[in-house]
Amino acid sequence: DTEVTQTPKHLVMGMTNKKSLKCEQHMGHRAMYWYKQKAKKPPELMFVYSYEKLSINESVPSRFSPECPNSSLLNLHLHALQPEDSALYLCASSQDLFARPQHFGDGTRLSIL
Amino acid sequence: AQKVTQAQTEISVVEKEDVTLDCVYETRDTTYYLFWYKQPPSGELVFLIRRNSFDEQNEISGRYSWNFQKSTSSFNFTITASQVVDSAVYFCALSEAVASNYQLIWGAGTKLIIKP
């Protein structure tokens, strides 16, 4: 069992829908990450939160909106997505930002119709 | 320029064979970290090991071993007596203290297939 929990595991949505991906960790980690992974590719970093503040935004389109309500939770709000946004979305956490091992959730497989 | 190269796209071996996954990296930082992650078909990325640039000592963990050589900028991963459960995509990654502000730079991954 992973220590980073992501919900839902699968999500199918239309291009006009609004949905949210959720991530939770209880390891006391202070850095949390969102990655996007396309098939047969390595993960691409999207956002990084450090101590609940947005630290890195890798030029992600505004249709993706991250939120970190507290040190254990990380959300990714989705709105008006495009078919090319279909991918595996992975959440990760680490003790801090300084090259600590990242612990990943199982991911959410997102399909945009 | 690619900073982490995993030249082997896919490797297929029969169970119980030994297999080595290659990783070559490029950096100008003197302080950096190297990682290996495993991604089974289920999707989650599993952390395997982290080495820092000041520690070239090789590491063994059960059937897994890692060979870090700064002289050749390589951090290779060997699985001894492979098992079907080792089938996965394996990623090597680099974290630099300065150039990439500690964010992970991933290799393209090597898909390992272990046949029974």
> Residue A29 — very low, low, confident or very high, per pLDDT cuts 50/70/90?
very high
Residue A68 has pLDDT above 60, yes or no: yes
Residue A10 confidence (pLDDT)? 96
Interface of A with B (CB under 8 A): 2, 40-43, 45, 48, 56, 88, 90, 92, 97-99, 101-107, 109
Length of chain A: 113
pLDDT of res. A84 = 95
Residue A97: is its pLDDT beyond 90? no
pLDDT at B80 over 60: yes
Chain B residues with CB under 8 Å of A31 CB are none
Spell out a b/e string for B60-77, using b for 16 or more CB atoms within 10 Å of the CB, else e.
Answer: eeeebbbbbeeeebbbbb
- Cβ-nearest to B95 among A43, A92, A99: A99
Q: Residue A9 pLDDT > 60, yes or no? A: yes
Tell me the average pLDDT of chain B. Answer: 94
Is A62 exposed, middle or buried, given 0-12, 13-18 or 19+ CB atoms closer than 10 A?
A: exposed
Beta bridge partners of B51: B34
Residue A2 pLDDT > 80, yes or no?
no
**pLDDT score recorded for residue A1:** 52
Buried/exposed code over A76-89 (b: 16+ C-beta within 10 A; e: otherwise): bebeebeeebbbbb
Largest CA-CA distance found in chain B, in angstroms, rounded: 44
Count other Cβ atoms within 10 Å, centred on residue A30.
Answer: 16
What's the pLDDT at B2?
A: 61
Interchain CB distance below 8 Å, A106 and B43? yes
Interface test with A, best of B104, B110, B113 (most A CBs within 10 A): B104
CB A105 to CB B44 under 8 A?
Answer: yes
What's the confidence (pLDDT) of residue B1? 57
Instruction: Give me the mean pLDDT over the A5-9 stretch.
Output: 97
Nearest C-alpha in B relative to A109: B43
